[in-house]
Amino acid sequence: MPYSTTSALNRHTGFAGEIHNKLGQSPNLATVLVALGIVYGDLGTSPLYTLQTIVHIIGHEFTPEEALGSLSLIVWSLIITISVKYNVLVMRADNHGEGGILALMAMTGEDRSGRRRWLVIFGLFGAALIYGDGIITPALSVLSAVEGLNVATDIFKPYTMPIAVLILVALFALQTRGTATVGKAFGPVMLIWFATMAMLGIGAIVRHPQVLCALDPVHAFRLLSTNGFVGFAVLGGVFLALTGGEALYADMGHVGRYPIRLAWYCIVLPALVLNYAGQVGNFLDAPDMESNPFFKLAPDWAIYPLVALATLATIIASQAIITGSFSMTRQAMQLGWFPGVRIDQTSAEAYGQIYVPFVNWTMMFLTVALTAVFGNSERIAGAYGTAVSTTMVLTSVLLYEVMRRRWRWTLYQAAATAALLLAVDLAFFSANLFKILEGGWIPLTFGILVFTIMTTWHFGVEALYRRNIARPQQRTEFFGRLRNENVVRVSGTAIFLTRSGKGMPPIIVNYVKQGRCLHKTAIALTVSFESVPRVRPRDRMRCENLGEGVWHVTVHFGFVEIPDLPSVISRATRKGVPAWDEPIYYIERHDPISRKNRNMLSRCGVALFAFMSRNSAHAIDRFRIPSNALVEIGRRIEL
Tell me the pLDDT tens digit for each residue of 215-233.
999 999 999 888 888 888 8
Q: What is the mean pLDDT of residues 18-22?
A: 38
Find the range with the poorest average confidence among 290-294, 456-460, 470-474, 608-612: 470-474
Give the HSE-up count for residue 590: Cα atoms under 13 Å, Cβ half-sphere.
25
DSSP string, 318-362: HHHHHHHHHHHHHHHHHTTSS-----EE--SS-TT-EE-HHHHHH
Whole-prediction pTM:
0.79
DSSP 78: I
Which amino acid appears at position 387 of this protein? A
> What is the second-level CATH architecture of the domain 3-459?
Up-down Bundle (1.20)
Tell me the pLDDT tens digit for each residue of 397-449.
999 999 998 899 999 999 999 999 999 999 999 998 888 888 888 888 998 99
User: What is the C-alpha end-to-end distance of the chain, expressed in Å?
Assistant: 15
DSSP string, 88-116: IIGGG--BTTB-SHHHHHHHTT--TTSTT
Evaluate whether 388 touches 148 at the Cβ level (below 8 Å). no
pLDDT given for residue 346 in this prediction: 67
Compute the distance between CA of residue 639 and CA of residue 467 in angstroms, rounded to an integer: 8
Tell me the pLDDT tens digit for each residue of 563-601.
888 888 888 888 888 888 789 999 888 788 888 788 888
pLDDT bin (cut points 50, 70, 90) of residue 71 is very high
The three-class DSSP label of residue 185 is coil
Tell me the pLDDT tens digit for each residue of 377-398.
878 877 788 888 899 999 999 9
Domain with CATH 1.20.1740.10 in the chain: 3-459
